[in-house]
Amino acid sequence: MAGIVAVFDFDKTIIDCDSDNWVVDELGATDLFNELLPTMPWNSLMDRMMKELHAQGKTTEDVVEVLKRIPIHPRVIPAIKAAHALGCDLRVVSDANLFFIETILKHLGLSDYFSEINTNPSFVDEEGRLRIFPYHDFHKSPHGCSLCPPNMCKGLVIERIQASVAEEGKKKFIYLGDGSGDYCPSLKLGDGDYVMPRKNFPLWDLMCKNPLLIKAEIHEWVDGEELERILVGLINKISIQENAQFIPADCKLQTISVSAREALPHALPVQQ
């Protein structure tokens, strides 16, 4: 089952909310966030919010404690563990940031299940303030994709992953997401791949406008329970298809003649 790469968005896919909004709301900075939102890109705003929260005396430990309380559907963790146990290469592609994602995955005991996290870089500086930066430096080298926010084109990330695994042979991709930023990478998937949009979320809405643009097979989901059932079902489906390729086409079931059956050892009676 090494032939499947499952790529997860993070916010509202693995966890059940937006991690940026969760931290801002829980630390009491919602009003300032909403005031500044029209003035700068989201990613830049989150870096600014970490500066404001630090100035108010909030520490990275406060942020960590908030992240540990983040809501997640109880079936998502078993789904991730099941996909990993079935041999899938699991990766994260998210417009959140590395500090938030690593903190949450560590708290949930999921850090070792993902081979790669693609997201906006972040680190704690010498003053103890969390800094958040764009995945693509849109000031120096904009990615040029009109579908994606300036700080991250997930489509470019998917293309890089596709190229990196191509040397290992044909891989099938399963992409799970919910937001408008997940539309571009969904367009990069091909025949034989699968995309799992969260129903009635922006990705689903965009796909419904012109589903023929999506080459991958579409399987919508509503909550963590459906995510688990559909994801594991698709992995098993791909596994059956892969195994079927190794069965010779002219393989036929052969009947055993009466004389051959008589030559087989007889069952021994159970002593009473």
Render each residue's pLDDT in the chain as its tens digit; 272 residues.
Answer: 459 999 999 999 999 999 999 999 999 999 999 999 999 999 999 999 999 999 999 999 999 999 999 999 999 999 999 999 999 999 999 999 999 999 999 999 999 999 999 999 999 999 999 999 999 877 777 788 988 999 999 999 999 999 999 888 889 999 999 999 999 999 999 999 999 999 999 999 999 999 999 999 999 999 999 999 999 999 999 998 888 766 555 544 444 444 443 444 444 444 44
Residue numbers belonging to the annotated binding site for Mg(2+) = 9, 11, 178
**What pLDDT score does 272 carry?**
43
Determine which one of 11, 47, 89, 193 is catalytic.
11
Cβ within 8 Å of residue 142, ≥6 positions away: 136, 150
Gap between the Cα atoms of 237 and 3, Å rounded = 12
Gap between the Cα atoms of 75 and 43, Å rounded = 30
DSSP H or E segment with residue 119:
strand 116-120
Q: Is there a catalytic annotation at residue 137?
A: no
Determine which one of 9, 89, 182, 193 is catalytic.
9
Contact 88, 164 (CB under 8 A): no
Q: What is the dihedral of CA 97, 95, 223, 180, to 10 degrees?
A: 170
Cβ within 8 Å of residue 222, ≥6 positions away: 198, 199, 200
pTM (global) more than 0.85 = yes
Give the burial class of 60: count Cβ atoms within 10 A of its Cβ; 0-12 exposed, 13-18 middle, 19 or more buried.
middle
Q: Which residues pair with 6 in a beta bridge?
A: 90, 174
Q: Is there a catalytic annotation at residue 193?
A: no
Residue numbers belonging to the annotated binding site = 9, 11, 20, 95, 178
**What pLDDT score does 2 carry?**
58
The sign of the torsion formed by the CA atoms of 245, 248, 252, 258 equals negative
Contact 87, 2 (CB under 8 A): yes
Amino acid at 35: E
Domains of the chain (ranges; CATH) run 4-17+72-120+135-244 (3.40.50.1000)
**What pLDDT score does 262 carry?**
43
